[in-house]
Homo-oligomer: A and B are copies of this chain.
Amino acid sequence: MKKLRISIENVKNLLEAKGVKPSFQRISVLKYLLQENNHPSVDTIYKNLVSQIPTLSRTTVYNTLKLLSEKEVISTLSISNTDLRFDFVGEPHDHFQCNTCGKIYDIYEISDFSELKTVDGHQVQEMQLHLKGTCNRCLESLN
């Protein structure tokens, strides 16, 4: 829940390092992901940015997320069964989604499959551990 303060310069350098031309829209999307760290949907990103960028198109958000995903700047989470969620690729970590409030939490130090390159002859390129249940906040409010 720590909201980070991320400079535009940092984001710009990050994009350039990954071979992505740092347009204003792309910087905005990645900056949003980094400082909110809330695993947002396309629509959440769009709605939050369109107030600052009135000309922003939903298609641009889709395009940007697809591009950043291909360049492995971000990862696409299929944990929600209603829409895709997006996350910055930093430290490897897992995710927990609350069945009550829907919020997605980062989980560290549960799984470590970093050395897993192959299983049953399949070449593994990506792995996600998805946990679901009731989050600590929602458990609290049951009292």
Q: Which residues in window 63-97 of A have CB below 8 A to B?
A: 76, 78-81, 84, 96
A99 contacts the other chain (Cβ, under 8 Å)?
yes
A123 contacts the other chain (Cβ, under 8 Å)?
yes
* Chain B residue with the shortest CB-CB distance to A99: B125
* Contact among B110, B111, B122, B134 for A123, CB-based, below 8 A: B134
Q: Interface size (A, Cβ < 8 Å)?
A: 34
Copies in the complex: 2
A81 with B81: CB separation less than 8 A: no
A136 with B122: CB separation less than 8 A: yes
A1 contacts the other chain (Cβ, under 8 Å)?
no
Least distance between A104 CB and chain B CB atoms (Å):
11
A124 contacts the other chain (Cβ, under 8 Å)?
yes
Q: List 27 A-B contacts (CB under 8 A).
A: A78-B80, A78-B130, A96-B119, A96-B122, A99-B125, A105-B120, A107-B119, A110-B113, A111-B113, A116-B131, A119-B131, A120-B136, A121-B135, A121-B136, A121-B139, A122-B134, A122-B135, A122-B136, A123-B135, A123-B139, A124-B132, A125-B132, A126-B133, A127-B131, A127-B132, A128-B129, A128-B130
